């Protein structure tokens, strides 16, 4: 049996595009003599469609797409993910399903049993869990067909009370197929390998795994589709962050099923570093956000600091230097070296830039408010005013010329509220909102790995918002090395204040940092969508009440 795996970048709700890509892959597979081609979970609709699933019209379009795709399945079978209607009068209206298409029609449907409701997942909101799982028979082989989470509950700490694969294993399958929509974070690739290998070893079966690739707003999918031999050996692993298509031949040996490649020699993926994975994920995230919304040009405020420098470099890589506009917006407090660093970076990237001084606008606002501020000392009000003037200018250029403003706030700043609402926190997409400040520096060094792009002075100088004379971030915050460790322990690992104090951090610093995090929730609630690269990003995967009193 020849089996093809198609790793495709789908677009949520873009049925014409998704169906065309699927049919093209089927035609390609036919030309290679493939018997079975496998696509990802919810391939027809894209993942996650979220509340589109509540519209009857959306579900009907999914079904019509499946029927159209089935017409291409003459002389070849396909496994493909899509929502389907639950015919029972009880339970949720839909299933998360895997269709088996053959001979021009739907021949078999199975459904997802284990529905994740943690982190970014909320599948039980829409789908009914399935219990009556059975193997699929095709060409004399019994296929244990599962959907994503169905094979992930295999560790020592079990989230579910049933195991679909345990049930299927009793039916004597010859191979496993798992179709998935498993989002990226920088540890996901290693976790995925471990889970798939454990399944192959536990059930003593070869495993064919197909994942999504591409970005769906804040959720990024890295691909990494995989084939595992029954002895737990990773036979092949697909490319990350790009579409891929490969064909395998499954042959009967004397005592076991063995895998043979049909038209290529598999090469094992080289282990990627955390920072290189984050870099490539962010580039893909920016590119797909613009492509899928039919945007072409980005704009951002370039300050000479590390965050805007890294954001500009990533945007140039994602969109091309002709499609990115940099605007320098110096104030009376902007240092000459910051302006020079910004200019050098724009020229290194060959990106067009303008310099718009905000002093005139700042003075005008000071004069306008002088009657009400008379006799009061300058404070954070005037600092925020500068940030908001810059935002007004950037959004004006965005409106006039059709740019999309990229937000440059990092995760450390967003965590503790070190940013101005309707100022530097505005934008259409937050590029670094899930990247801690120390990781931003690592990204800068990675970007400079082959040649100097970001000026060394930008990387080495003390971080500063430059909103008052001699200002440094360290005036308001702990050193970023310490701050990021505390934030990681609290946000990603959910450690409480006692745990952090036991680790050696002072009670005063812990109390201050956690209070800043929890009292800044209202700011994060109004941030642009944040590209998710960690295990716990701000946005849909971290749901906190705004008016809570806990640790605030």
Measured CA to CA, the distance from residue 81 to residue 458 in angstroms comes to 47
112 assigned to active site: yes
120-158 per-residue burial string, b: 16 or more CB within 10 A, e: under 16: bbbbeebbbbbeebebbebeebbbbbbbbbbbbbbeeee
Measured CA to CA, the distance from residue 468 to residue 240 in angstroms comes to 44
CB atoms within 10 A of CB 170: 9
Task: Report the half-sphere exposure of 465 (CA within 13 A, side-chain side).
Answer: 25
Measured CA to CA, the distance from residue 76 to residue 65 in angstroms comes to 17
437 assigned to active site: no
Measured CA to CA, the distance from residue 6 to residue 229 in angstroms comes to 19
Catalytic residue among 2, 112, 325, 536: 112
Query: Closest Cα to residue 21, out of 74, 80, 107, 88?
Result: 80
Rounded to 5 degrees, what are φ and ψ at 397? -65, -40
Instruction: Please give the structure tokens belonging to residue 436.
Output: 């801690």
Measured CA to CA, the distance from residue 482 to residue 358 in angstroms comes to 34
Measured CA to CA, the distance from residue 101 to residue 241 in angstroms comes to 28
62 assigned to active site: no
CB contact set of 399 (below 8 Å; sequence gap of 6+)? none
Beta strand 175-179 pairing with 207-210 = parallel
Catalytic residue among 41, 128, 383, 466: 41
What Å distances lie between residue 331 and 263, 308, 339, 468, 506, CA to CA? 61, 16, 10, 10, 37
E strands, 70-129, where?
Answer: 77-85, 94-102, 105-111
Instruction: Please give the structure tokens belonging to residue 309.
Output: 């420098």
Decide if 213 contacts 242 (C-beta within 8 A). yes
DSSP designation for 41: T
Integer-rounded Cα Rg, in Å, for the chain is 26
| 125, containing H or E segment | none
Catalytic residue among 62, 73, 148, 426: 148
Measured CA to CA, the distance from residue 463 to residue 307 in angstroms comes to 9
Query: Closest Cα to residue 34, out of 73, 10, 12, 4?
Result: 4
Measured CA to CA, the distance from residue 537 to residue 434 in angstroms comes to 6
Measured CA to CA, the distance from residue 154 to residue 373 in angstroms comes to 63
End-to-end CA distance of the chain: 61
- Active centre residues (catalytic): 41, 112, 148
């Amino acid at each position: 049996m020849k089996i093809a795996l198609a790793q495709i970048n789908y677009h949520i709700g873009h049925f014409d595009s998704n169906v065309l890509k699927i049919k093209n892959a089927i035609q390609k597979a036919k030309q290679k003599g493939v018997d079975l081609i496998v696509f990802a979970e919810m391939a027809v609709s894209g993942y996650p469609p979220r509340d589109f699933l509540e519209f009857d019209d959306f579900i009907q379009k999914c079904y019509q797409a499946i029927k159209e795709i089935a017409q291409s399945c003459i002389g070849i079978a396909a496994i493909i993910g899509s929502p389907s209607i639950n015919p029972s009068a009880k339970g949720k209206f839909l299933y998360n399903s895997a269709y088996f298409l053959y001979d021009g029609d739907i021949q078999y449907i199975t459904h997802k049993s284990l529905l994740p409701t943690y982190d970014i997942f909320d599948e039980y909101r829409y789908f009914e869990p399935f219990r009556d799982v059975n193997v699929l028979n095709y060409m004399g082989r019994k296929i244990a067909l599962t959907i994503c989470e169905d094979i992930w509950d295999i560790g020592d700490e079990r989230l579910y009370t049933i195991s679909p694969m345990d049930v299927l294993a009793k039916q004597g399958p010859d191979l496993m197929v798992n179709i998935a929509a498993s989002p990226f974070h920088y540890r996901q690739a290693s976790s995925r390998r471990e889970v798939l290998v454990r399944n192959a070893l536990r059930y003593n079966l070869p495993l064919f795994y197909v994942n999504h690739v591409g970005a769906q707003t804040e959720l990024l999918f890295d691909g990494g589709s995989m084939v595992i031999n029954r002895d737990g050996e990773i036979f092949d692993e697909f490319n990350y962050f790009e579409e891929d298509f490969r064909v395998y031949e499954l042959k009967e040996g004397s005592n076991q099923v063995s895998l043979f490649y049909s038209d290529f020699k598999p090469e094992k993926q080289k282990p990627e570093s955390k920072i290189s994975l984050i870099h490539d994920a962010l580039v893909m995230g920016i590119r797909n956000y613009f492509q899928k919304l039919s945007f072409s040009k980005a704009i951002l405020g370039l300050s000479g600091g590390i965050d805007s420098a890294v954001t500009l470099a990533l945007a140039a890589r994602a969109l091309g230097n002709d499609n990115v506009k940099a605007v320098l917006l110096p104030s009376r407090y902007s240092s000459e070296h910051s302006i020079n660093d910004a200019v050098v970076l724009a020229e290194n990237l060959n990106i067009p830039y303008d310099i718009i001084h905000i002093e005139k606008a700042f003075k005008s606002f000071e004069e306008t408010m002088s009657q009400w501020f008379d006799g009061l000392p300058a404070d954070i009000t005037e600092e925020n005013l500068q940030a908001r003037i810059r935002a007004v200018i950037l959004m004006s250029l965005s409106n006039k010329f059709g740019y999309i403003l990229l937000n440059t706030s990092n995760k450390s700043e967003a965590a503790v509220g070190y940013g101005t609402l309707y100022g530097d926190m505005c934008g259409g997409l937050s590029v670094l909102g899930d990247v801690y400040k120390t990781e931003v520096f690592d990204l800068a060094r990675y970007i400079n790995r082959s040649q100097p792009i970001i000026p060394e002075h930008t990387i080495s100088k003390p971080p500063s918002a430059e909103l008052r004379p001699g200002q440094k971030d360290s005036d308001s915050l702990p050193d970023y090395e310490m701050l990021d460790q505390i934030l990681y322990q609290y946000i990603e690992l959910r450690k409480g204040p006692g745990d952090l104090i036991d680790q050696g951090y002072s009670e005063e610093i812990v109390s201050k940092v956690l209070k800043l995090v929890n009292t800044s929730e209202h700011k994060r609630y109004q941030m642009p969508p944040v590209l998710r690269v960690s295990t716990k990003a701000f946005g849909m995967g971290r749901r906190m009440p705004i008016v809570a009193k806990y640790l605030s």
